[in-house]
Amino acid sequence: MSHFLSAIIKGNNIWYLTTADIESSRGIELRVYTKALDDLRGHGAVRWFYNMQGGKETEYRNFSTPDNIPEEIVKKVITGYSFCRWFGLPPPRILLPAIYTEGVKKAITLIRDYYKLKKPDTFKEYQVLMLNLQEEYWLKIRDKNNRMRNWRHL
């Protein structure tokens, strides 16, 4: 399982994927190639997308403060758009706990409804609902009042 955000550092660049990458024509090919949604976040997906070899693989997982993340990625997180679909809900410790928990509960309900109750009828419909939920919570980051104290000054 890949965590948000997998990246490869090569030279002076940090290579990672964004929503725009995954929704591009090359990203559509990537989604066919990876077969599993979770794999879209991984180093293998980054390497495949950019046809890259070498470099140092890293994962940015500690979002308790933006100081733990490269500034380039922090700026993209704050806009809400760069990772709003295909990356799951925003990582913990950016949104206020109540907002984050609300999103997790909604995601659990969607998962339960689909896998236990078979609602909606198709995976495609379920995927659209889940992507919309992800986008809703990523876009909440744009409002400083929705963010944890360490993220409010941005």
CB 19 within 8 A of CB 82: yes
In this predicted structure, what is the pLDDT of residue 2?
61
Under the banding of pLDDT at 50, 70 and 90, the label for residue 39 is confident
Could you tell me which residue, 36 or 97, shows the higher pLDDT?
A: 97
The domains of the chain are located at 1-61, 88-154
Is this model's pTM higher than 0.75 or not? yes
Tokens of 52: 């890259």
The DSSP-derived string for 82-140 is TTSSSS-SPPTTTB-HHHHHHHHHHHHHHHHHHHTT--SSSHHHHHHHHHHHHHHHHHG
Percent of all residues in the chain with a pLDDT value above 70, rounded to a whole number: 99
pLDDT tens string 23-36: 999 999 999 999 88
CA 61 to chain centre: 11
Strand order in the sheet with 56-59: 13-15, 6-10, 56-59
Instruction: Report residue 40's pLDDT band, with 50, 70 and 90 as the boundaries.
Output: confident
Instruction: State both tokens at 73.
Output: 């990625």
